[in-house]
Structure formats: C-alpha cells, structure tokens
Homo-oligomer: A and B are copies of this chain.
Amino acid sequence: MNALDSLIEALKRLPGVGQKSAQRMAYHLLQHDRTAMPRLAGALTAAVERIKHCERCHTFSETPLCIVCADAKRDRRLLCVVETPADQAALERTGSYLGYYFVLLGRLSPLDGVGTRQIGAAELLARAAEDGVEEVILATSFTAEGEATAHVLAEALRARGIKSTRLARGVPIGSELEYVDLGTIAHALSDRR
C-alpha cells in the first residue's frame, strides 16, 4: 500500500471518520498543513507511551497517582464512580464536586464479556471500605447498562454497609455524561438521592 492510502486507512481508525473524511483529512494535511503531521505523530507517540492509568482511581494519568488522587485536600468522605475518564473530566469541569473518583473504564455488559471483574468492582469495594469514605456516588450513565451497573454496585455496597447514592435525574435519560452541559451535571450532583 502506498503512503497516501496507508495514511487514509490509519485516519479511518479515528471514531466518526469514514472513507470520505479520511481522504479529505489526508489531502488537507498534505496540501495545506504539513507541519501538523509530525506534530500529531509526536503527540500520538507521547500519549501512548506516557498515559497510563492511575493506580488508585484508574483514570488516565502520566504519574502513578493522578492529580485528583494525589491531592490530599479533597473531601475523603465522598467517592464518585464514573464509567470513563471523559465522564470524570466532565464532572471536574463543573467545579462542584470536591471528593475523589473511581473510574470503571466501562460498564457491565455481559453480552460483550464485560463483567464485574472488567470494571474493577473488587477494587472499588476495597476502595469504598477505606477509612473515611461515607458515601459512594454512582454516576454511571442513565442508559440501560449504566443503570444495571449502578444497581449491581449499590447492592454490593449495601451488603458491606456502605451508603451509595445516584446522581439526580436532572441528567437526561439515554445520554452519555460526557456530552451533558455542565449546569445540568452540577444540578444533578447537588440533588443526588
């Protein structure tokens, strides 16, 4: 395969990019923005090498502990469970949550082979049982799978005597947290039940 076709094929691996968009991107870069090419190549290489997962909350991090987990001043009584690092970033941007996080890196989906082991449920339960944690906020998506995940985790937490809450239903049903406007997320957080 020649270099142009290889570039188009590689661009098609990006989410939301089909054949036409990939062609358009490749031609645009080659004709109008060649300096963007080594820059993107370098950013991809650096990202894949440097970005690992936080040992404690599993979000993306370049250091063993992410910036939130490394911050001793946050409210250790609150632990918020989200599906993805993008969801965690959205919650952080609201500025209205001061506790810690646990990132599942997925949600229960038995048909896709995603069970409690894949979302790190045991690590979450151990983390929630740590001294000082008073409430686990289950901020998984309001999709069928997100609700099922919250339900299973809430039951497991309750069996261990740990209180859990769910974000208020201000969050639109069927949507991904990452794409919800910040005001709605902040409101849902204060109304958690």
Contact = CB atoms under 8 A, between A and B. Distances in A.
A28 interface: yes
A45 B38 CA distance: 6
A51 interface: yes
Given A13-B39, A41-B41, A44-B38, A4 B84 contact: no
A23 B178 CA distance: 10
Interface residues of A, number: 49
A44 B11 CA distance: 9
Contact of A4 (B30, B38, B45, B51): B51
A44 B79 CA distance: 41
Contact of A15 (B16, B24, B42): B24
Contacts of A46: 3, 6-7
A23 B87 CA distance: 11
A47 B3 CA distance: 5
Given A3-B62, A13-B33, A33-B13, A48 B44 contact: no
23 contacts: A2-B62, A3-B46, A4-B60, A4-B62, A6-B47, A7-B43, A10-B42, A10-B43, A14-B28, A14-B36, A14-B40, A15-B24, A15-B25, A16-B21, A16-B25, A24-B86, A24-B178, A30-B47, A30-B85, A31-B105, A34-B48, A40-B44, A41-B44
Interface of A: 2-4, 6-7, 9-11, 13-16, 20-21, 23-31, 33-34, 36-48, 50-51, 60, 62, 84-86, 89, 105, 178-179
